[in-house]
Amino acid sequence: MGKHILILEGDGIGPEIVAEARKVLDVVNSKYTLGLSFEEGLMGGSSIDEHGVPLTDETLERARKADAILLGAVGGPKWDKLDRAIRPEKGLLKIRSQLGLYANLRPALLYPQLVDASSLKPEVVSGLDILIVRELAGGIYFGEPRGIRVLENGEREGFNTYKYSESEIIRIGRTAFEMARKRNHKVCSVDKANVLEATMLWREVLDTLSAEYPDVELSHMYVDNAAMQLVRAPKQFDVLVTGNMFGDILSDAAAMLTGSIGMLPSASLDKDGRGMYEPCHGSAPDIAGKGIANPLATILSVSMMLRYSLGLPDIADAIEVAVGNVLDQGLRTADIYTEGTIRVSTSQMGDAVIAALTA
């Protein structure tokens, strides 16, 4: 039986970029007779507007049953003032934790055609190909206790808990080591082990685990230095493994090295490789509705879906080649536009990828 995909467009530019990714899915589905089937669901602000909550139990159940999920992005100013229990982002965090999507792969790969769009000098970034492995279902994002409480003196205090158990560290560590085995055999673990106990344990557990991967070189770096090294000499890295919050921040920084955050796809996988696929960027309220958002991160997320959840690496490769082909033609959305290239809209970019795929 064909695989079943749940599509969550989300908010802001979500529907615009997902429409282009969906076109790509439809084209590969018929070109290669994959027998994929699709259904749509609501998550984030659009679900709050319709159902009063960012993710209904019914949509969560449909997500559980799907073979893979494609997500645009959630959130926006319209919902920022709501009670914190029903923010759009809560839907995303719930689906990640309920489905056990702990391994977030964020590949920062600079297409050679975009070297001028990168914020760094060509000699520093050209050939960049790093993989950020971000722990996605634990850490300070989910640690309890958390909240906002009133202190004895009457003022309020916000608090969160940063914690990682050994088993949580081991499973994300294994993902990083396994991925490094398919790449350049180097893992750099990013932590703040000079200050935070949770990351002292993180470092110790990864050191122990590394004995099982003698062919992979493990190094450690403090997160402040890692942020600096990412913009100083990013090519020193192969696989970076880090916790939920550090991974969130470092992957946005790494995105810019590839020309734009609109280029960075992601896969969020469970222990069996089932997953949700989404661009690393958000709902970009500042450009929503203008038809100028870059759909390539979402299209490349479809490629990751074919590779990691649907067992179709050749078709995943074909999509990546098609994206390269479109960039060769000089086509650029506004975020990656540089002098001498051709500015195109969101849908023109999607159409060009399809033309390249079917050529």
Nearest residue to ligand IPM on Cβ basis: 89
Q: Which of residues 221-280 bind ligand IPM (CB under 6 A)?
A: 248, 280
User: How many CB atoms are located within 10 Å of the residue 306 CB?
Assistant: 26
- Tracing tokens 């020193």 back to the chain, one arrives at 236
Cβ nearer to ligand NAD, comparing 155 with 286: 286
CB of 57: closest distance to ligand IPM in angstroms?
20
* Binds ligand NAD by CB under 6 A, chosen from 27, 36, 63, 92: 92
Q: How far apart are the first and last CA of the chain?
A: 28
Distance between CA atoms of residues 329 and 341, nearest Å: 9
Could you give the string, one character per residue 30-59, with x where binding to ligand NAD holds by CB under 6 A and - elsewhere?
A: ------------------------------
The amino acid at 356: A
* Helix 313-328 with 296-308: angle, nearest 10 deg: 160
For the annotated binding site for substrate, the residues are: 96, 106, 134, 224
Distance between CA atoms of residues 95 and 86, nearest Å: 14
Region near ligand IPM per CB under 6 A, out of 76-84, 85-93, 186-194, 210-218: 85-93
Cβ nearer to ligand IPM, comparing 29 with 268: 268
DSSP 114: G
Distance between CA atoms of residues 254 and 118, nearest Å: 10
What is the size of the binding site for ligand IPM (CB under 6 A)? 7
For the annotated binding site for Mg(2+), the residues are: 224, 248, 252
Q: Are 256 and 227 in contact (CB under 8 A)?
A: no
Q: Is 332 in the site for ligand NAD (CB under 6 A)?
A: no
Distance between CA atoms of residues 249 and 262, nearest Å: 15
Max Cα-Cα span within the chain = 70
> Is 248 among the residues known to form the active site?
yes
Q: Is 353 in the site for ligand NAD (CB under 6 A)?
A: no
* Binds ligand NAD by CB under 6 A, chosen from 69, 70, 73, 356: 73
* Binds ligand IPM by CB under 6 A, chosen from 89, 178, 270, 351: 89
CB of 25: closest distance to ligand IPM in angstroms?
21
Supply 235's token pair.
């090519």
CB of 246: closest distance to ligand NAD in angstroms?
15
267-269/103-109 β-pairing:
antiparallel
Q: Which residues bind ligand IPM (CB under 6 A)?
A: 75, 89, 92-93, 248, 280, 282
Active-site amino acid positions: 141, 192, 224, 248, 252
